[in-house]
Amino acid sequence: MTTAAAGQSILPAEPALAAVPLARRAGRSKWSVVKLWLRRTIGLAITVAIFVWMLKPIFRSPIEVRHRVLETNWWRVFAASVMFAAFLFIFRALAWRRILISFGYRLPVAAATRIWSTSELARYLPGVIWQVVGRAYLAKPYGVSGSVCSTSQILELAIFLLANLITAVSCLLFMGLGQIHGPPRHWLLASTALVPVLIYLVHPKVFYPLVNRIMARLGKPAVEQRLGFRETLGLLLWSILGLLWQGLAIWLVVCRLLDLEPSKWWVVTGAYCLAWCAGFLAFWAPGGIGVREAVFVGAMKFALSHAFRHHLAGAELDPLHHKELFLLFLSVLLRIWATLGEMMVAATAYSLDYRGALGRAGRGMTG
The rounded distance, in Å, linking the Cα atoms of 252 and 72 is 12
Report if residue 61 sits inside a domain. Answer: no
pLDDT of residue 361: 58
Look at the chain and report how many structural domains it folds into.
2
**103, 226 contact by CB (below 8 A):** yes
Domain match, 32 and 99 both: no
pLDDT at position 63? 61
**Same-domain check for residues 121 and 48:** no
Q: What number of residues does the chain have?
A: 367
Whether residues 40 and 86 share a domain: the answer is no
Residues 211, 103 contacting (CB under 8 angstroms): no
Do 219 and 89 belong together in one domain?
yes
Task: Let me know if residue 364 belongs to a domain.
Answer: no
The pLDDT tens digits of the residues spanning 141-197 come to: 888 988 889 899 999 999 999 999 999 998 887 766 656 666 777 778 888 899 999
Give the distance between the most distant pair of CA atoms in the chain.
113
The pLDDT score that the predictor gives to residue 40 is: 59
Low-confidence ranges of the chain (pLDDT < 50): 1-14, 17, 307, 314-322, 363-367
pLDDT at 240: 96
Phi/psi for 366 (5° steps) reads -115, 170
Torsion of CA 145, 222, 99, 136, to 10 degrees: 20
The reported pLDDT for the residue numbered 120 is 85
Residues 28 and 158 in one domain: no
264: three-class secondary structure by DSSP: helix
Residues of the domain holding 27: 16-55
pLDDT tens-digit readout, 72-96: 788 888 999 999 999 999 999 999 9
Residues contacting residue 92 through CB under 8 Å, at least 6 positions apart: 116, 120, 156, 160, 239, 242
Looking at the structure, do residues 28 and 117 belong to the same domain, yes or no?
no
For 298, half-sphere exposure in the C-beta direction (CA atoms, 13 angstrom radius) is 18
Beta strand segments in the chain, E: none
- What pLDDT is stored for residue 321 in this prediction? 45
| Any domain includes 5 | no
Residue at 62: amino acid letter: P
Same domain for 182 and 42?
A: no
Burial group, residue 131, by CB count within 10 angstroms (0-12, 13-18, 19+): buried
Domain assignment present for residue 111? The answer is yes
In this structure, the answer to whether residues 106 and 85 fall within a common structural domain is: yes
Q: What is the rounded CA–CA span in Å between residue 293 and residue 337? A: 12
Calculate the average pLDDT of the chain. Answer: 76
- Rounded to a whole number of angstroms, the distance between the first and last alpha carbons of the chain is 63
Q: Establish if 121 belongs to a structural domain.
A: yes
Q: In terms of domains, do 94 and 227 share one?
A: yes
Considering the domain architecture, whether residues 164 and 194 belong to the same structural domain is answered as yes
CA distance 267 to 257: 15
Together in a domain, 127 and 43: no
